[in-house]
């Protein structure tokens, strides 16, 4: 720099030019550093292989590499390893593999493994396979027979037509699985008489009032694909049975023509929230084959809930497409739809914060308003997650390349990382709206940002609680009712609120309906809090404090609150005894319990479970005998969740299963660390 100034001499213009040039270089360098730093915050996107791809690749190995692995796995004492060997053998389709599968079947005692072998014969269609298939079809185990028929239906060979007399008998079996596979075989054979019998069987299933048989009929129609089969499935979407709806939408989305899929999605968005949620979960399972269908339908979607499910599903599919090394594309109409939808959702959240700020200026009792305030904060985080999904889908440059579960914005540190990333991107509209919500310094901050971005007027905030009670967000509505019940004690009822309450009495949500009815009866504050609906709400609030459920949405936890049973124990009472079958989850509502390990007359306290903590999670899966007893440290109250209803709930709400896995994994990690420390201590001693 000194040499340059000497060369320049006293020229003012050149000095100013030098200063300008240095400034530009510094700005460019700072921007580059910031971009590099922001990029380092984005988790590395790894490529994931599904199990089928792994088996296909292993199947392409030469015999010298593959057979030692197969021999080791097939002779293992571990049933899972032997199942792995069956899948490897099935992936090759060679004569040697077939002979090995026959030997494994003959010596195998595990029923599940025999069933897997029967289902894995589809690639072995040489004539010498026939005696083994006939043997499987005569097995007393119905699942083995059904799986053998499944394999037979997938064999591309001529000799299987000779088995038709045997298969015909299976159409009149008492096992629906065997009947369905037999029907597929006879339909494929193509003879008029056989098809007439199958059609009669199919019509009997579709006309059944039993949801299980009717669902089986829908499954069969998706396999056979007779005339107008897609329309039959679309008509069944309006069935009162969720099981029938689930099967109909699954078969349509898996197998139907694009036009039928579009009509089905149109019909789904006219149905209830649960139907839309089931559709979303079905799309998640089917995956990337639905990308074009969803992208094409999204601009036609008019239901907010439907748009949310489709955007969420597209984000998950986008992750799988990227992890496979490919890229996705959106039509212009779809991109506009996603952008308009998320801007509208963000506006609603800002309106919530705007009205809440004005309401809390007049009602500063945190004890009364805290429940609704927490619900609003949770809704803000959830909407920010939606906005991030939208930003990733609209990201044409591929900068936002992390998977949906790589950044958890519920965690403060990861939320700050996301703020840094967004500040360095070019999403000026969506990003500028999301940032204040992620920072959420105060309600006044959101109030001012809402006024600035959406020009809200203070007059619009006069509705106060009425606005939240009228919300189409069911959890906000429920919490609004709870807050109103506490504030309205010994006050003259608000006519506008009373009118809304009368409407909510008929709400599809049983908790909201019951809460509205209780409030209309003008109960005292103490009685209101004892309302069954509000007891469920308070259960949810306790569950949210528990590490097992803290990342699960409050609205979803309402279903858990309904299946939880309350029990009280006096001090030193045995809650569960060592050696008993463990099939209950315990959550401490009040007091504490101690976990005691007995070894003859010697007892040792392993841990203390306090208020808001759980005990017995592992038993929900294993049903093994308890390795220790649980004893009340003091008079305590517990929530007890039984294994059966909980397992059913896990299928409907995967978020709970994910949280459970996280907690159990963390406990396993800590146990491993403790074992290492104990071993080190013993070695040192």
Pairwise CA distance, residues 277 & 267, whole Å = 14
Give the 3-state secondary structure of residue 48: coil
User: Which 3 state secondary structure label does DSSP give 49?
Assistant: coil
Alpha-carbon distance of 433 to 416, in angstroms, equals 16
pLDDT over 90 at 268, yes or no: yes
pLDDT > 90: what percent of the chain?
Answer: 21
Chain-centroid distance of CA 459 in Å reads 40
Rounded Cα–Cα distance for residues 15 and 13 (Å): 5
Asked whether residue 523 carries a pLDDT value surpassing 70, the answer given is no
pLDDT of the residue at 53: 59
| pLDDT interval class at 147 (50, 70, 90) | very high
Q: How confident is the model at residue 136 (pLDDT cuts 50, 70, 90)?
A: very high
With a cut of 60, say whether residue 1 has pLDDT above it: no
Summarised one tens digit per residue, pLDDT across range 371-423 is: 888 899 989 988 999 998 998 888 877 777 777 777 778 778 888 888 887 87
Q: How confident is the prediction for the chain on average, in pLDDT?
A: 83
Which residues fall within 8 angstroms of residue 376, CB to CB, at 6 or more apart? 352, 353, 356, 476
User: Would you tell me the crossing angle of helices 532-545 and 510-520 to the nearest 10 degrees?
Assistant: 130
SS3 assignment, position 553: coil
* pLDDT exceeds 70 at position 55: no
Q: What is the pLDDT of residues 181-218, one digit of tens each?
A: 999 999 988 788 889 889 999 999 888 888 888 899 99
CB atoms within 10 A of CB 45: 14
What letter would DSSP give residue 616?
A: -
Specify the pLDDT at position 48: 47
- pLDDT for the residue numbered 190: 79
Residue 629 has pLDDT above 60, yes or no: yes
Q: 81-116 burial, b if ≥16 CB within 10 A, otherwise e? A: ebbbbbbbbbbbebeebbebbbebbeebeeeebbbb
**Mean pLDDT in residue range 514-531:** 70
pLDDT given for residue 648 in this prediction: 78
Compute the Cα dihedral for 185, 190, 196, 202 and give only its sign.
positive
Check whether 504 has a pLDDT greater than 80. Answer: yes
DSSP category for residue 625: B
- Residue 264 has a pLDDT of 94
The stretch 311-338 carries a mean pLDDT of: 88
Kindly report which listed range (61-75, 506-520, 594-608) carries the lowest average pLDDT score: 61-75
Query: CA-to-CA distance for 63 and 599, rounded, in angstroms?
Result: 53
Contacts of 591 (CB under 8 A, 6+ apart): 611, 632, 633, 634, 635, 636, 637
Higher pLDDT, 656 or 595: 595
User: Which band of pLDDT confidence, cut at 50, 70 and 90, is reported for residue 315?
Assistant: very high
- Asked if the model's pLDDT at residue 44 lies above 60, the reply is no
pLDDT class of 148 with cuts at 50, 70, 90: very high
pLDDT band, residue 676 (cuts 50/70/90): low
Least confident of 133-147, 245-259, 316-330, 618-632: 618-632
Residues facing 597 on adjacent strands: 604
**Residue of 669 and 636 predicted with greater confidence:** 636
Confidence of residue 262 (pLDDT cuts 50, 70, 90): very high
The residue that leads in pLDDT, 138 or 551, is 138
Tokens of 84: 């792995």
So what's the pLDDT on residue 49?
Answer: 46
What is the pLDDT at residue 519? 84
pLDDT-derived band at 273, boundaries 50, 70, 90: confident
pLDDT tier, 672 (very low <50, low <70, confident <90, very high otherwise): low
Half-sphere exposure of residue 445, counting CA atoms within 13 Å on the CB side? 10
Side-chain-facing half-sphere of 46: CA atoms under 13 Å: 6
**DSSP code at position 158:** S
The greatest distance separating any two alpha carbons of the chain, rounded to the nearest whole angstrom, comes to 108
What confidence score (pLDDT) does residue 211 get?
87
C-alpha triplet 236, 239, 240: angle, nearest 5°? 170
Cα dist from 18 to 2, 5, 488, 533, whole Å: 12, 9, 71, 73
Supply the pLDDT for residue 442: 84
> What percentage of the chain reaches a pLDDT higher than 70?
87
């Amino acid at each position: 720099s000194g040499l340059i100034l000497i060369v320049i001499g006293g020229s003012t213009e050149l000095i100013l030019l030098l200063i300008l040039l240095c400034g530009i270089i510094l700005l460019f360098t700072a921007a580059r550093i910031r971009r590099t730093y922001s990029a380092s915050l984005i988790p590395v996107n790894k490529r994931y292989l599904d199990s089928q791809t792994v088996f296909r690749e292993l199947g392409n190995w030469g015999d010298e590499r593959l057979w030692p692995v197969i021999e080791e796995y097939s002779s293992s004492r571990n049933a899972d390893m032997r199942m792995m060997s069956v899948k490897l053998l099935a992936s090759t389709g060679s004569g040697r593999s077939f002979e090995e599968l026959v030997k494994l079947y003959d010596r195998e005692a595990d029923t599940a493994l025999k069933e897997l072998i029967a289902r894995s014969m589809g690639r072995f269609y040489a004539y010498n396979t026939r005696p083994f298939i006939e043997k499987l079809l005569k097995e007393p185990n119905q699942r083995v027979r059904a799986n053998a028929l499944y394999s037979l239906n997938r064999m591309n060979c001529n000799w299987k037509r000779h088995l038709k007399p045997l298969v015909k008998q299976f159409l009149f079996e008492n096992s629906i699985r065997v009947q369905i596979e037999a029907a597929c075989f006879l339909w494929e054979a193509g003879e008029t008489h056989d098809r007439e019998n199958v059609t009669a069987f199919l019509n009997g299933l579709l006309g059944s009032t039993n949801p299980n048989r009717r669902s089986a009929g829908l499954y069969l129609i998706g396999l056979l694909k007779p005339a107008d089969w897609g329309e039959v499935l679309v008509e069944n979407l309006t069935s009162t049975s969720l099981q029938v709806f689930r099967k109909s939408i699954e078969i349509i989305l898996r197998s139907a023509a694009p036009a039928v899929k579009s009509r089905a999605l149109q019909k789904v968005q006219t149905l209830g929230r649960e139907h839309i949620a089931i559709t979303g979960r079905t799309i998640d399972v089917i995956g990337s084959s639905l990308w074009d269908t969803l992208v094409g339908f999204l601009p036609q979607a008019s239901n907010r809930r439907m748009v949310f499910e489709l955007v969420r599903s597209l984000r998950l599919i986008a992750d799988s497409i990227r992890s496979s090394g490919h890229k996705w594309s959106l039509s212009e109409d779809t991109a506009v739809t996603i952008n308009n939808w998320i801007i509208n959702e963000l506006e609603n959240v800002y309106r919530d914060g705007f009205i809440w700020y004005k309401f809390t200026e007049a009602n500063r009792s945190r004890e009364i308003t805290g429940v609704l305030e927490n619900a609003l904060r949770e809704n803000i985080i959830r909407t920010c997650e939606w906005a991030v999904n939208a930003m990733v889908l609209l990201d044409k440059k591929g900068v936002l390349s992390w998977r949906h579960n790589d950044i958890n914005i519920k965690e403060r540190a990861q939320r700050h990382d996301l703020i840094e990333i967004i500040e360095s991107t070019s999403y000026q509209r969506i990003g500028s709206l999301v940032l204040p919500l992620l920072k959420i310094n105060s309600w006044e901050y959101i109030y001012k940002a809402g006024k600035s971005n959406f020009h809200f007027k203070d007059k619009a905030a006069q509705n106060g609680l009425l606005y939240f009670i009228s919300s189409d967000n069911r959890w906000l509505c429920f919490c609004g009712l709870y807050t109103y019940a506490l504030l309205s004690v010994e006050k003259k009822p608000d006519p506008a609120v009373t009118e809304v309450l009368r409407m909510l009495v008929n709400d599809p949500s049983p908790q909201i309906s019951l809460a509205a009815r209780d409030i209309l009866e003008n109960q005292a504050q103490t009685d209101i809090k004892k309302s069954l609906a509000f007891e469920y709400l308070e259960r949810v609030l306790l569950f949210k404090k528990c590490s097992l459920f803290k990342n699960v949405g409050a609205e979803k936890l309402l279903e858990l609150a309904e299946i939880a049973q309350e029990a009280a124990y006096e001090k030193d009472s045995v809650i569960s005894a060592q050696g008993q079958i463990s099939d209950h989850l315990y959550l401490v509502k009040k007091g504490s319990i101690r976990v005691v390990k007995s070894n003859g007359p010697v007892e040792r306290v392993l841990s203390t479970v306090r208020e808001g903590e759980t005990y017995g999670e592992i038993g929900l899966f294993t049903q093994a005998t308890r390795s220790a007893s649980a004893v009340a440290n003091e008079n305590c109250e517990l929530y007890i969740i039984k294994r059966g209803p909980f397992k059913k709930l896990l299928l409907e709400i995967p978020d709970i299963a994910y949280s459970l896995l996280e907690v159990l994994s963390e406990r396993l990690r800590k146990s491993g660390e403790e074992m290492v420390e104990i071993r080190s201590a013993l070695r040192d001693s």
